[in-house]
Chains A and B, each alone.
Chain A
């Protein structure tokens, strides 16, 4: 217990005993459970988990079944992170008083939330947890839309995406606001570790999760989670979409240590044009009409600018 789980390669990793069960009601091809499995399998320690309202919560705790083999709580939409922070505070208090029944165990506190519960509704609660310095990890399953309630836009929805509350049509190209840079916002709290991960780069992801669980203090993880229903692609292409998102640099993989030290952890050998990433999804279908084609060019410029910004930050160490 409590020593770092050694994961050198995928064969070694595959001997893990999953603590997340099948026959949950997530859509076929949903990336949420791939991310959850990679996070839970990264450690052998006990886990205290929470899930904010969202696809993950409603699909894994349907009466009379639960898909979780660890302590798991769901309270409200906004306060999953705070629930876990409370459990962590209690654990610390009991430990200081010497009242823990099994003091040698070293539980990890992880809260899962969708992008709606993190970018919008739970924002101030997460900010509070980060500011108070609880020893927790907050994992965002970022599918860029409120997928659970029918695809309303969230503040993570990128420009040009067609969502039910920002539909594309004759007068509009869909979502008009750009995505919030949540990793930088959280890093600005001065927390020891914040990172962006993707399930297709499992080794990078496990390394970041393990590092995040080892450091003392709050950790923020943003994981890209392609949604077959709302991004409108075939369930079998989930990993293809994740590959496209990391290789087109729409979701660059990086980490920020202590709020300032930025490291880029994955540099694609062949950078894919953003156009390919957009073309693979039904929610961007309208961008390929003649009148909206200029948006694809703007997309590419925005992604390039962000990549250049990250590179400058990595070099300058600020």
Chain B
């Protein structure tokens, strides 16, 4: 489907977001939706990133600031818990890291090629304020 050129369709052809219908879209989470190849959900912008966010669950307080301020719907929150980052859609803007209120931050930016497990093992310690 992505290989079909715009001029190869019949006039009036419809490209649909979903394969099949959804009655209650606002009550259907993304993993339950039958996305078609025409939804940008099926695409990826992962190659835009220079740095990637790494999520350390140990320090997360589930405040959801990262969820609300993520411009790319890349923070996955289910049942009021932050469970991970959608690396297909993250563009690496680092807003989530900036708004994270914990000390040390539970989200930090690392180079794209960094190993997640190594970085989590070497997570920076709590910062103490100088008086």
Which A residues fall within an 8 A CB radius of B?
10-26, 28-34, 37-38, 43-46, 60, 62-70, 199-200, 202, 235-240
Contacts and interface: CB of A to CB of B under 8 A. Distances in A.
Nearest to B50: A28
B105 interface: no
A39 to B, nearest CB: 12
A210 to B, nearest CB: 14
8 contacts: A11-B80, A14-B80, A14-B82, A15-B78, A19-B26, A21-B73, A22-B89, A69-B18
Contacts, number: 141
A141 B38 CA distance: 26
B34 to A, nearest CB: 11
Nearest to B72: A22
B59 interface: no
Interface of B: 1-2, 4, 6, 15, 17-18, 25-30, 33, 37-45, 48, 62-65, 67-74, 77-80, 82, 86, 88-95, 97-99
A17 B39 contact: no
Contact of A23 (B45, B65, B92, B98): B45
Q: Which of B39, B78, B90 has the most A CB atoms < 10 Å from its CB? A: B39
A29 B97 CA distance: 12
Contacts of A236: 93-95, 97-98
A13 B6 CA distance: 39
A12 B81 CA distance: 10
Q: Is the interface of B mostly helix, strand, loop or mixed?
A: loop
A45 B48 CA distance: 34
Most buried by B among A18, A28, A70: A28
B95 A239 contact: yes
A16 B42 CA distance: 20
Contacts of A14: 64, 67-68, 77, 80, 82
Given A22-B88, A22-B89, A68-B17, A17 B25 contact: yes
Contacts of A238: 69, 71, 93, 95
Nearest to A200: B69
Contacts of B62: 11
A15 B25 contact: no
A121 to B, nearest CB: 25
Given A14-B68, A22-B40, A37 B77 contact: no
B68 A31 contact: no
Contacts of A67: 39-40
B43 A23 contact: yes
B29 to A, nearest CB: 5
Contacts of A28: 48, 71-72, 91-93
A199 B88 CA distance: 24
Contacts of B2: 64
